[in-house]
Amino acid sequence: MLDLRLVTDKLEDVKRRLSLRGPVKDAERLAELGARRRALIRDSESLRHEQKLAGERMKDLLKSDPTGAQTLRLELKEKSARQKQLDDEIKQLETELEELLLFIPNLPHETVPPGTSSEENPVVRAVGQAPAFSFTARPHWDLGTELGILDFERGAKLSGSRFTVLWGAGARLERALIQFMLDLHTREHGYTEVLPPFLVQREAMAGTGQLPKFEEEAFKTTAPEYFLIPTAEVPVTNLHRDEILDGARLPLRYVAYTPCFRREAGAAGRDTRGLTRQHQFDKVELVKFADPRTSYDELERLTADAEDVLRRLGLSYRVVALCGGDLGFSAAKTYDLEVWMPGQGRFVEISSCSNFEDFQARRARIRFRRESSAKPELVHTLNGSGLAVGRTLAAILENYQQADGSVTIPEALRPYTGFERIGK
RNA sequence: GGAGAGAUGGCCGAGAGGCUGAAGGCGCUGGUUUGCUAAACCAGUAUACGUCGAAAGAUGUAUCGGGGGUUCGAAUCCCCCUCUCUCCGCCA
């Protein structure tokens, strides 16, 4: 959520910065309503002030002059009614303002490159060498099916398309990856592990920006209503909702493993094969709460922490900076990590690292105090996948495949899998 | 699921229609005293939104779990909701 003050007071600025994302809607109306709200508040408050002053006279009058008290009472009754009417109007206005504001995306950071689609995302760096094969590399869904570790048919039988069953070494590899990533981030990168609920309430989803705009993307239960988390970002960021954090302890760094649930409503027909786009997948997520002054340094570090997973697994990848048109709703700046998938001959997103600045913090009221006597300020929130586990598993299958269809396990992972290769 | 109790500031805890942003205590911050520390004493110690101001700040309004109602006036009275605790039942 943007700062209403900023929108009303610096409308042109806001519009210019938003236009990097595409056409701007509603900003004008927002500024207008914001100005009207202020005027109404002024009127209501001065009326209320008069009432309070008169109220103090009332008590004396009640003793000394009953008739006068009666007159005053009638007068105040009318004033009170008028003021309540104003308050109703203000409330209505604020509801409308909130609704508009919740649908306006975050302002892109100055360094966000121009562009309208993912094709225009500049490559920031490329790391590692794509493996050279003496045979034609195959996609992970073929390899995994032949090895008997990925079972798409039975996934579909149980739950429909975009669900997969992992067997034996596949299940073990998934679990090994989760463990490996959590250990790396907690032991070497200074993150605190947290295991949050996988079902959250509407307000948590709104806090991080998934709602109200993207409700059709989420799975939810009814009576009682719960949302299945689309990413650990939701519960972990909301851990500190309505809190004032100690500035001396920033940045807070959390890492969480959770399954993630997504409708993929807008992705019909895309990535229908393999593990790339599932309704349910595992992810290890990095989340930070940072001082606004250093949040962009923290973004670089967080991205490096995610990259470290790929590097240790010996997977080649590139880092792209999302352009204005490709930037997510809540993000001010995002780097995507794309892993090379030799079996598909393309790069696939495996992590998305973003600085949300104060956008989520304002929605979720997450603040900090710089000094014990200072006024609370909004924190900056950041997060990034570290990494998407299913896609990592797929990348390992494709990058470490052998001519005979077996797959060797990256060195770093072997203590976790307990085996060095997966064969038939 | 059944029965009961409760929710007040960073924390504990008074208050039972007006003068209560809210006694008292603890904590915290600053000061005095003081070889140092501690103790003692004094002062300060919420948030949001308005208005004025370049700013520091001044000032107004709101806020006693949330929402609604009664009233000239609600922390205080009434209604609804949420959460917490205790006991019973059930359950991984």
- ipTM of the prediction: 0.84
Instruction: Provide the token pair at A221.
Output: 């239960």
Instruction: Provide the token pair at A361.
Output: 């913090």
Of the candidates A301, A338, A391, A398, the residue annotated as catalytic is A391
Specify the pLDDT at position A402.
97
**Closest C1' nucleotide to A47's CA:** B61
Q: Helices A140-147 and A389-399, interaxial angle, to 10°?
A: 90
Distances (CA, A) of A129 to A36, A126, A207: 59, 9, 40
Specify the pLDDT at position A297.
97
Name the β-bridge partners of A199. A228
Specify the pLDDT at position A247.
86
Name the β-bridge partners of A321. A335
A349 is catalytic: yes
Based on the fold, state whether residues A46 and A187 are members of the same structural domain.
no
Banded pLDDT at A55 (limits 50, 70, 90): confident
Residue A315 lies in a domain: yes
Last residue of a domain, one of A101, A133, A160: A101
Q: Which strand B nucleotides have any atom less than 7 A from protein CB atoms?
A: 18-19, 28-29, 47-51, 60-62, 68, 71-73
Å between CA of A129 and C1' of B81:
60
pLDDT digits (tens, 9 = 90+) for A152-211: 999 999 999 999 999 999 999 999 999 999 999 999 999 999 999 999 988 899 999 998
Based on the fold, state whether residues A244 and A320 are members of the same structural domain.
yes
Å between CA of A44 and C1' of B31:
42
pLDDT digits (tens, 9 = 90+) for A276-293: 999 999 999 999 999 999
Strands A407-408, A421-422: parallel, antiparallel or unpaired by DSSP?
antiparallel
Name the pTM for this structure.
0.92
Based on the fold, state whether residues A83 and A143 are members of the same structural domain.
no
Residue A242, number of CB atoms within 10 A of its CB: 11
Q: Which residue is nearest to nucleotide B62 (CA to C1')?
A: A45
pLDDT at A319 over 80: yes
Residue A171, number of CB atoms within 10 A of its CB: 12
Residue A111 lies in a domain: no
**Closest C1' nucleotide to A43's CA:** B50
Å between CA of A230 and C1' of B91:
29
Specify the pLDDT at position A61.
81
pLDDT digits (tens, 9 = 90+) for A60-75: 787 778 888 888 888 8
Provide the 8-state DSSP code for A378.
E
A262 is catalytic: yes
Based on the fold, state whether residues A153 and A52 are members of the same structural domain.
no
Region A311-329: mean pLDDT is 97
**Closest C1' nucleotide to A83's CA:** B61
pLDDT at A129 over 80: yes
Specify the pLDDT at position A95.
86
Based on the fold, state whether residues A34 and A139 are members of the same structural domain.
no
Of the candidates A89, A94, A217, A349, the residue annotated as catalytic is A349
Phi then psi dihedrals of residue A137, to 5 deg: -65, 145
Å between CA of A4 and C1' of B60:
21
Domain that holds residue A10: 4-101
Instruction: Provide the token pair at A58.
Output: 């009332």
Specify the pLDDT at position A233.
96
pLDDT at A223 over 80: no
Mean predicted lDDT score pLDDT of chain A: 93
Residue A22 lies in a domain: yes
Based on the fold, state whether residues A154 and A201 are members of the same structural domain.
yes
Specify the pLDDT at position A263.
94
How would you class A406 by CB atoms within 10 Å of its CB: exposed for 0-12, middle for 13-18, buried for 19 or more?
A: middle
pLDDT digits (tens, 9 = 90+) for A236-254: 999 988 888 888 888 999 9
Last residue of a domain, one of A101, A128, A148: A101
Å between CA of A327 and C1' of B66:
36
Of the candidates A262, A362, A363, A367, the residue annotated as catalytic is A262
Specify the pLDDT at position A401.
98
Specify the pLDDT at position A117.
93
Instruction: Provide the token pair at A251.
Output: 């940045």
Q: Which helix (H) or strand (E) holds A18?
A: helix A11-18
Q: Which residue is nearest to nucleotide B44 (CA to C1')?
A: A373
Q: What is the CATH number of the domain that holds A152?
A: 3.30.930.10
The number of distinct structural domains making up chain A is: 2
Å between CA of A424 and C1' of B32:
83
A277 is catalytic: yes
